[in-house]
Amino acid sequence: MLNKIKLWFLTEEEKLFLKELRPKRRVNSDCFTLFQCTYDFSYLKSYKKIIENENEVDFIGVFPNVVYVSFYEWLLIIKIFFKNFFHFFIRRKWKKIYSSLGISLFYTTRKIGLINKLENFINAYKFFRSLETKKQILNHSIKEYIVVI
């Protein structure tokens, strides 16, 4: 239990990393780069290098839903509440770290409804079944996207 609570707070390495950062301003451009905000310090350092090299782009972060709920935990609803409670504080800490890098907007998959998830899965399945070469995936561009806040 104490190990989980320790994850809510910044480590010494993370504090030092935040002190060394120069504040990054938001660009407000039409172009953006989408990052998956992992809870890993090595990825954070890689993202820092990418963000420092890009000056004309906004950055958007997507937080994954990493809370796994087993069948027995669905029966005991209180266990799900505690998992989500702990994950909320961990996500809040990492949101602070990523926002100091210059990532301006954050999205989470928890806000997408079940019907939309099912539609997205079916569309993705159809798209990947239609692929014939690897070049088609590299040349693919997203024409529509849903903004979930």
pLDDT in tens, 27-76: 666 777 778 888 888 888 888 888 877 777 778 888 877 767 777 777 77
Separation CA 96–CA 8 (nearest Å): 11
H-run or E-run covering 21:
none
Report CA Rg, the chain: 18
pTM as predicted: 0.65
Pair 8, 90: CB distance under 8 Å: yes
CATH domain 2-110 topology:
Rossmann fold (3.40.50)
